[in-house]
Chain A
Amino acid sequence: MANIKLDNLLKSYGDTEVLHGVNGDINDGEFVVIVGPSGCGKSTLLRMIAGLETVTSGEVSIGGKMVNNLEPADRDIAMVFQNYALYPHMSVYDNMAYGLKIRGIAKSEIKRRVNEAAEILEIGDYLKRKPRALSGGQRQRVAMGRAIVREPSVFLFDEPLSNLDAKLRVQMRLEIRKLQKRLGVTSIFVTHDQVEAMTLGDRLMVLNGGYVEQFGTPIELYENPQTVFVAGFIGSPAMNFIPATARDDGTVELQNGDVVPGVATTGTVTLGVRPEHLVPHDKGMFQIKVLMREQLGANTLIHGVLKGTDTEMVVSLAGTHDISEGAEMRFSAAKKLLHFFDATTGKRLS
């Protein structure tokens, strides 16, 4: 059990800086998901915590101890890799026992731990098999088992679900979450999938281009995104962004001249509103020309443009709706569900 502290972590390869000072405190027993688009530096960050990448500057502490210069094996961590990285020539049992053997742990203790982990993960029947005789999901379990038997104070997951098919992914996602709750081990999970991130994490760290955009609970990120990037990244379908101009009276004017209550500011702003927060309303402030609709059963997606502009809009309505394509509709949203961002910096305007 340990907390993790990231203090101004910086990573560069030669002249290229890929992480520009990451800060974050991860509490004991917490499940933190690092999420971001590919190339944002999330895997690099995880590997720096694991000790597989050197730290250019800044500090990583695990359990109050600075670990910058420790070998991965000495950091009391366990890692699950994207392609599982099982040793192909060893049986499942040996794969799980290998790290313990190197540590010089007694045979009987190794056996106890491996059997215990195998029972938790329901892979007891495969202990004698080689990894190539296992399915993707089973390999995934073995990889997790290898992490569990170490009894580490931190679990690190590097996109462990991305090699599984969609159904299995959802199932394993739940299992990882349950397992982590049960073992209570501090965990860091890297993914590019925001749904995975939202469902797994106690807290999410959204990375973009090597910067932390926001670090908070899933609901905080959903309700109170601090930047345009977070607003667009979290939630599906993605938030609608409408360019607008602030007026003196605390309202904003859309490009088509419609006026929407806003925030006290000046200049151009970006107005954000989630598709599921738009409701049909006779006097609604958003006039949308419907171009296409998608019936998903539980909800209906309406794709269109803001009337008089070419700003694309998506509306998600619960249930089925018979809306003809080409129709013009008005929608409104509660004022507290409107988000305003500075058009140039992308930062939230409160």
Chain B
Amino acid sequence: MIENRPVLTFLSHLILIFGVAMIAFPIWITFVASTHTDIRMTQVPLPLWPGDQLFVNLNETLIGEGAAGTNNVPVWRMMLNSLVMALSIAFGKIAISLISAFAIVYFKFPFRMMFFWLIFITLMLPVEVRILPTYEVVAKLGLLNSYAGLSLPLIASATATFMFRQVFLTIPDEMLESARIDGAGPMRFFWDILLPLSRTNIAALFVILFIYGWNQYLWPLLITQDTNMTTIVMSIKQLLESAEATPEWNIIMMTALLAMLPPILVVVFMQKLFVKGLTETDK
């Protein structure tokens, strides 16, 4: 904008700064808490500046026993579980929805639109709605306490299928015809043309789906009893509950901080592709 109104600029900046502070302050407190001893965290007033216990707490949390009074595995193990689950969900969803969108857009088969709408209405059935029957199925398949059990039921995705369908629809028909004249079969076309052309969309979707997978709480809680399979998001709640005495805030906050890290890294490193994937229309 070319307008120059100092008051307006000041006001809008004020609001923006206030908004940033609203989000950032709790995270700052989390960080500060993770750098003090547990004793300091029980005294008032609570510290507002970092202490010197960061690496001690990190060591304790990441590979040590963790909070006293819990029988949790070390946090690195939980992070690994979360990572495997989030990656399986993200890659699984992308693979399945790419293939189903490919089928729906490029193949003529009976009841094609019916299948599309069937996929589409599963939007109305998230895990939380179908949690009991899904549990039953997973249990009968013997997938409790396994990575497959953690990720498989969350992999089917109507949203991603729909998104890829829209992406494929923007690719001109001539591209397919040209590939046919070049002698590319359907799979070759998929692999050589469609995949590279949806690259940025895949990246954008990956960011969203990774965070979705990482933040899963209810489903892992239900199907993992083995502490070796606990995910990090589940564990934060358990840390609070299991501490019979005063909660060890330094450890809890360190765990929370570690739980935040991978999604942030994914967003930071894939930001460029993410924005491109959602806005780029040049095909």
A residues in contact (CB < 8 Å) with B: 50-52, 71-74, 77-79, 81-83, 85-89, 98-99, 102-103, 132
Contact = CB atoms under 8 A, between A and B. Distances in A.
A79 B184 CA distance: 15
Contacts of A83: 172, 174
Interface in B15-46: none
Contacts of A50: 177, 181
Given A88-B197, A89-B196, A98-B192, A81 B177 contact: yes
Given A81-B174, A99-B183, 10 more contacts: A71-B183, A72-B180, A79-B178, A85-B174, A85-B175, A87-B175, A87-B193, A98-B182, A99-B182, A102-B188
Nearest to B193: A87
B136 interface: no
B202 to A, nearest CB: 13
Contact of A102 (B172, B175, B183, B196): B183
Given A83-B172, A85-B174, A72 B283 contact: no
A86 B178 CA distance: 8
B12 to A, nearest CB: 37
B282 A52 contact: no
Contacts of B199: 89
B196 to A, nearest CB: 4
B181 to A, nearest CB: 5
Contacts, number: 56
Contacts of B192: 98
Contacts of B174: 81-83, 85
A226 to B, nearest CB: 34
Contacts of A102: 182-184, 188
A152 to B, nearest CB: 9
Nearest to A156: B181
7 contacts: A52-B181, A72-B177, A79-B177, A87-B175, A88-B282, A98-B184, A132-B282
Interface of B: 172, 174-175, 177-178, 180-184, 188, 192-193, 196-197, 199, 282-283
Given A83-B174, A88-B197, A103 B181 contact: no
Contacts of B182: 73, 98-99, 102
B193 A77 contact: no
Given A85-B174, A132-B282, A73 B193 contact: no
Q: Most chain-B CB neighbours within 10 Å: which of A52, A74, A132? A: A52
A73 B183 contact: yes
Contacts of A81: 174, 177-178
A81 B192 CA distance: 20
A51 B180 CA distance: 9
B180 A71 contact: yes
A96 to B, nearest CB: 10
Closest 3 CB pairs of A and B: A73-B183, A99-B182, A85-B174
A222 B13 CA distance: 74
Given A98-B192, A102-B188, A132-B282, A85 B180 contact: no
B183 A103 contact: yes
B276 to A, nearest CB: 13
Given A71-B180, A132-B282, A85 B193 contact: no
A88 B197 CA distance: 8
B177 A52 contact: yes
Contacts of B175: 85, 87
A77 B181 contact: yes
A130 to B, nearest CB: 11
Nearest to A99: B182
A189 to B, nearest CB: 16
A73 B189 CA distance: 13
